[in-house]
């Protein structure tokens, strides 16, 4: 299978590694991170202060993660005879959910495809129906000529009904379902909003990079792997170096705000440039 995408263009400038010198305001200001909304001007606010809408931020991260995963698969299979199938999973009972159900189903589909020599590439998103039951939409890429059997008929989904249909606009469908999700309604305990799997190594690295905070994307390489440690922050797994966030988050009067304290010197001139083939920058920022 061909490489998912070309990583860098000749015009991109790569920053020094994490731990490079900091500055208090030099250079062009970078755009705020996902879910950050500029405040109206006020004499009482510090410079570079923005108000955060936590619900909007979480929803934006959800859509971005789904979009990037689906775009990577779409690009990987370009030129190959693969078609995306949309699998819908519905619960019979409103309170029939258990966390292991979707993972058990994915395991059975993976085993079925492995026996046929097909790699299991999928993206799924949860939806909460009006009746209160959880609903799953799973996008699976299949080689032409191969049709997935209905999971309820196979006994893979004994919790209700399933539907399979070929998806003409798979990414649009996933984003639509993600946009319909009302985070305020909450999820059953142990439930996840979305998931994806089946990436080749290069695609997995790119996906991990896209899910970094926007400020970190400006100097983190595609092969970097940062983990979040409670009470410490983001740490480079390869070097153990802690990379502090330039934003200080505070909550007062029910409002969440963030103030930029410093900037990292250097970095990519345009953070979405190397991966612009994947999608529109405003969804990937």
Sign for the pseudo-dihedral over CA of 119, 172, 136, 65: positive
pLDDT in the model for residue 117: 96
CA distances from 267 to 97, 221, 234 (A): 45, 10, 18
Residues 23-51: pLDDT tens digits? Answer: 333 333 333 333 434 334 444 444 688 88
List of domains in the chain: 22-53+203-284 (no CATH), 58-200 (3.30.70)
* Angle at 89 (CA atoms; ends 86, 91), nearest 5 degrees: 165
pLDDT in the model for residue 185: 60
pTM higher than 0.85 = no
pLDDT in the model for residue 143: 94
Cross-sheet strand order for the sheet of 160-166:
160-166, 82-91, 134-143, 122-128, 194-197
Buried residues in 100-115 as b, exposed as e (16+ CB within 10 A): ebbeebbeebbebbee
Q: Residue 138's beta-bridge partner residues? A: 87, 124
The Cα 102–Cα 87 span in angstroms is 12
pLDDT in the model for residue 187: 73
Which residues make Cβ contacts (< 8 Å) with residue 256, sequence separation at least 6?
51, 52, 53, 54, 249, 250
Which residues make Cβ contacts (< 8 Å) with residue 177, sequence separation at least 6?
125, 127, 137
pLDDT in the model for residue 86: 93
Mark the ranges of the chain whose per-residue pLDDT is less than 70: 1-47, 179-186, 267-285
pLDDT in the model for residue 35: 41
Structure tokens at 59: 């929803």
The Cα 125–Cα 172 span in angstroms is 12
């Amino acid at each position: 299978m061909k490489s998912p995408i070309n990583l860098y263009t000749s015009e991109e400038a790569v920053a020094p590694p994490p731990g490079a010198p900091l500055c208090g305001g030099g250079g062009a200001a970078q755009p705020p991170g996902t879910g950050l909304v500029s405040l109206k001007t006020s004499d009482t606010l510090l410079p570079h202060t923005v108000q955060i809408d936590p619900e909007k931020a979480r929803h934006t991260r959800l859509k971005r993660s789904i979009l990037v995963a689906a775009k990577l698969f779409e690009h990987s299979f370009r030129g190959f005879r693969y078609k995306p199938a949309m699998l819908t999973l519905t619960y019979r009972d409103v309170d029939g959910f258990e966390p292991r159900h979707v993972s058990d189903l994915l395991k059975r589909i993976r085993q079925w495809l492995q026996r046929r020599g097909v790699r299991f590439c999928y993206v799924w998103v949860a939806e909460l129906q009006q009746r209160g039951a959880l609903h799953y939409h799973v996008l699976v890429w299949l080689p032409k000529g191969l049709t997935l059997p209905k999971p309820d008929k196979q006994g893979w989904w004994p919790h209700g009904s399933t539907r399979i249909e070929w998806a003409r606009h798979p990414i649009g469908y996933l984003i639509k379902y993600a946009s319909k999700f009302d985070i305020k309604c909450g999820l059953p305990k142990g439930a996840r909003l979305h998931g994806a799997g089946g990436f080749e190594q290069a695609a997995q690295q790119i996906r991990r990079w896209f899910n970094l905070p926007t400020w970190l994307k400006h100097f983190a390489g595609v092969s970097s792997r940062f983990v979040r440690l409670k009470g410490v922050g983001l740490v480079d797994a390869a070097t153990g170096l802690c990379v502090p966030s330039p934003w200080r988050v505070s909550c007062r009067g029910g409002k969440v705000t963030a103030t930029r304290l410093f900037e990292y010197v250097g970095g990519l001139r345009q953070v979405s440039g190397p991966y612009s083939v994947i999608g529109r920058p405003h969804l990937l920022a």
